[in-house]
Structure 1
């Protein structure tokens, strides 16, 4: 056992504390590959920005997230953490965090009632600050437990889906706390959403199916930053790539990036692999299943398991069985088989280990520094959805360059004056 506190053990709900040694190995591994977050940790240890405060975190609970929790803890916080998806929680990591003094309310694949209970219990600790992923914490606070809003100064949101929910609350004038949209930071969508999602989706698909991608057709549903990354990696693996979109500008971009663009009802006839990355519901549904090839493989890389309409798929199936871990076979009435990975949940975490440590290093540094920003300014920033300040984004990128041993140029004073003046452009 490490420096486990009595309170973290008493207040936690995890599967098995005996799993902790394996969890520590995972956390130690990512820590050694997260130099940006290590630098933030050193800053927090010196400054203690969260001393005496409580922080509740809801994120995909695996090793990289665990290290973020430890960095926030190093800043003086009492940390409680729970998962943001039933299939992405790793039980050994949960046990290790408890030994490190973090209160954990999570285990792999809880039933829906238990999963919701963990979220509520994490909020019942009456945190000062929160980190959310997908908006579950914020939704509970506004829809079910507004009594728990009183102590919360604000927080940060990790992903596109959560920001959609936050902006809907803000638009209706209902948002009761400031939330930083970490997903919209340059260092998040340019690197995490593109390179992280692109690689981790195919890590999970390849690990789960053990099938080749080269020579096959991959249909990417949605061409936002995540979709761009998935399409890029599919092309790199030798696939023919089809993109479906509802946004005309993104559709033109996908075309100019060299991909075929067409409606889903046409793409459905061609795809061997399907990856949804829209944040919206039912983007693959009834009519699409009717025309798919025998052996088509469906996966979702959006936050919630609503992008592939599982009810439509089940209604068309004469039988459903699990043929490999994280692969369900739906046999259609005409004999075709359609396969769904990770129950239609976030495939890169439901069937894999998520984004690479070096990618989440930057994202979680943004999270930690954004949380500090909220705590420093919560009395003046208002109850709104906030962008990550450019200074934080640039700081994280600078730490990353430093860790890589890369130097860049700096503007001279004369160049700065030239760029700042309307009259000096000669």
Structure 2
């Protein structure tokens, strides 16, 4: 472990490899590259002290480099104990001069010491992935709140927590819900989570997905993506939902829909993507099929009732990296992946760079927007303006060599009029 005022990382000697991988990701992030080029010229974030609690990956590194190019005084920590790529953390510190506090496998004590370390930076702006940074600010570091102009939040889970803070009138500064922009949740959550979750399950287990029954708990954008990718690999997909409209959509998309307890008895692979607690609860675990794999792609491992799993088990052993075998008294075996933490970043590399290109373009342009507007906004949760969202989509299409139509003046006039009819 290497500790200094520049951060806390596992091993700085890993930096060269991390730099190579950061550059590899950069080639698939053309929108962020265009933003970085403009930021370097205009310096829209000059002098802003920014603290980020994010997954320390190659894609996040490219966001960090962009923010620094724009003038931000940035420090980073991990937003999950298992999602850090240690070579990337080392490269951020030694190759790019961005203080980073992140070590893969860090325990809870170190995790929160790292959050406090980036808050010691006395930020003017926060960038969060799960709301742990903002939550800590509002509970244990309240002396820093007057420094904050605004914040940004990346995830569904974090937005849920922030909206709860807003509803309870405890949120002290405006936060931009990056997750709610179309170019984030429609692509990152669906295509990114869909592919990376299945990638992680395959990497950690080396099983064949075709012919197996995959149960997806939750049919939001992440659930849609997981179900689609599992189906594409030949799985028989069951969806479990509490929202009748989403459940109906899943039926119309061709999936079986049933209560989770029934699905647990049939599923070979159970995947949670809801942002809620105890989605796989004791009743599911009691009914679960022998040999079932359990994985979570939500932000927190609360989605799986791990204490109940421990209670039901007579033994536990690590059988592969990121695979724990829980043995029941009746002889059944249940396999928990990545300790119930978000499997795609714990047991694999997270989302592909090409989809994070849009998500992190939202973060970069969102930071620029909130710096300009934050002082005039009430302490609420906001969505990124539609014009920024569409700008990102246009840049992405341009980078892919895709051209689209434009409305004629006649069509524009027609859409803005009310007189025409049958």
Q: Which TM bucket (shorter chain)?
A: over 0.9
Alignment of 1:32-181 (within 5 A): 32-99=27-94, 100-181=96-177
Please give the secondary structure, in 2, of the residue aligned with 1:362. Answer: helix
CA deviations over 1:369-414 (Å, ceiling 9, x no partner): 0011000111212211001100110011011001011111111222
CA deviations over 1:123-145 (Å, ceiling 9, x no partner): 11011111101100110111111
**Structure 1 portions without partners, runs of 5+:** 1-7
Please give the secondary structure, in 2, of the residue aligned with 1:322. Answer: strand
Q: TM-score with structure 2 length normalisation?
A: 0.98
Shift of 1:291: 1.9
Shift of 1:425: 4.6
Give yes or no for contact 1:418–1:425 (8 Å, CA) kept in 2. no
Shift of 1:184: 0.8
Q: Within 2, Cα distance between the matches of 1:108 and 1:208?
A: 16
Are positions 1:289 and 2:270 aligned together? Answer: no
Shift of 1:423: 2.5
Give yes or no for contact 1:200–1:348 (8 Å, CA) kept in 2. yes
Call closer, same or farther: CA 1:9–1:30 in 2, change over 3 Å: farther
- Residue from 344, 349, 353 that aligns with 2:349: 353
Q: TM-score with structure 1 length normalisation?
A: 0.97
Q: CA RMSD in A?
A: 1.1
Q: Within 2, Cα distance between the matches of 1:10 and 1:115?
A: 17
Give yes or no for contact 2:324–2:336 (8 Å, CA) kept in 1. yes
Q: Within 2, Cα distance between the matches of 1:354 and 1:11?
A: 25
**Structure 2 portions without partners, runs of 5+:** none
Please give the secondary structure, in 1, of the residue aligned with 2:295. Answer: strand
Give yes or no for contact 1:9–1:98 (8 Å, CA) kept in 2. no
Q: Within 1, Cα distance between the matches of 2:189 and 2:359?
A: 10
Give yes or no for contact 2:6–2:98 (8 Å, CA) kept in 1. no
CA deviations over 1:331-352 (Å, ceiling 9, x no partner): 0000110000000000000100
Task: Name the structure 1 match of 2:312.
Answer: 316
Q: Within 2, Cα distance between the matches of 1:28 and 1:53?
A: 26
- Residue from 299, 314, 323 that aligns with 1:327: 323
Please give the secondary structure, in 1, of the residue aligned with 2:110. Answer: helix
